[in-house]
Structure 1
């Protein structure tokens, strides 16, 4: 188990183990007082210094871990806020996209109607053009016929006039 842990993790684990064992001392002491005479534990100065150094290291590690925890907590809060902002932006974008889609559908519908109307107008224009050409052809024909009739009457009148003059002169 100790081989799998890194050097820092081993020292942290050892410090935590020491802290847990030290936290049990007041309970042992309390239990000893209620059970009988006081007991005293004696350790050497080097053991005490080692214990004290381990406690200081453990305290430093705890402070570092607390700072890391605070940084992680702040980072997590910031990420949560960013995530909420992004969610709101996505929702707003989706709403805008839906509105744009509806607007495009309406525009497409209007464009189809305009195309149908344009086709109808084109057919009406072609029909009107055909009718106009037909009317113009009839009118041109009527004009040609009227000119012929006029010319015929003019020639007839001229002949009648010449005949009248000729008859008047021959009498």
Structure 2
């Protein structure tokens, strides 16, 4: 009976040793996987930081371009107003010249008829 108990305990110890070896190997694999995942996480963090930096630079460039477009739009509006003002002055001057030409022509006709 004692011998059976000892053999059972030895068998149990052998089984436990095998399970411990399996767990140890599994633990090593898990540790390796964990290390790889940590490296991947660090790589992802670096990529995210680089992307954030690129986005910030792009946003700054877009803001600069937007400011430039706003200035160009204002300049274009000013130029349009100046062209319209000059066009109006030209039309007024042409009307005045035509009016004077008609008046002078009428005075010449009047002077010739007298």
TM-score scaled by structure 2?
0.88
Q: Does 1:120 align with 2:74?
A: no
Post-superposition Cα deviations, 1:110-167, rounded to whole Å, max 9, x if no partner, equal 1111121122112211211221121111111111112112222332343345x2xxx7
Partner of 1:40: none
Whose radius of gyration is greater, 1 or 2? 1
Match of 1:96 among 36, 47, 57: 47
Task: Considering fraction of residues, name the structure with more helix.
Answer: 2
Structure 1, unaligned runs of 5 or more: 1-49
Q: What is the number of residues matched between the two proteins?
A: 114
CA RMSD of aligned residues (A): 1.6
Using CA pairs below 8 Å that are at least 6 residues apart, which structure has the higher relative contact order?
1
Match of 1:79 among 30, 55, 76: 30
SS in 2 for 1:70: helix
- 1:1-171 alignment to 2 at 5 Å? 50-161=1-112, 163=113
Measure, in 2, the Cα distance between the counterparts of 1:158 and 1:68.
Answer: 130
Structure 2, unaligned runs of 5 or more: none
TM-score scaled by structure 1?
0.61
Measure, in 2, the Cα distance between the counterparts of 1:135 and 1:129.
Answer: 10
